[in-house]
Structure 1
Amino acid sequence: MAVSKHGNGTVAGPVRSTSTGYEVRKPTGTWIACRGSCSETLRVETVDIFENNGSMSGYGTAQNECGIFGCLELRYPR
């Protein structure tokens, strides 16, 4: 199950193993290759596809996925 980080709801889909790695199925029926995590790939490709910090570049891509340690933000002191 994938949970939106922006309040857009949740989505779930089955995962299958293929010769090239794992794939997760979107609600539309399309199978997509899992990138880092199948749940993160599903979240970014569905409920959070247009949540990209105001930029149209990178929407629905791995750029918007959180890593194995969660969503980390770098903050620099002023």
Structure 2
Amino acid sequence: MELDFDMEKLISRINELANKKKREGLRPEELEEQQMLRQEYLEIFRGNFKNQLAHTKIQTPDGKLHPLKYMPMQ
């Protein structure tokens, strides 16, 4: 549950900076903060997505469950 709260705060701050950028522009340190927050968000999002895929199983017509296998892009 703590992760969700941190993610909410992270998204809230990203949105604050995006709105300020549209209204009046951002100072250089705010642009840097915005970029760091976006990177942090993407890392968390990708980690959660990979975790979800790691726990996903496919059910075949015969009723057996098979885990998804990682197949890198070619």
How does the TM-score come out when normalised to structure 2?
Answer: 0.24
Q: Indicate the structure with greater helix content.
A: 2
Larger radius of gyration: 2
How does the TM-score come out when normalised to structure 1?
Answer: 0.23
Q: Which structure carries more relative contact order (alpha carbon 8 Å, separation 6+)?
A: 1
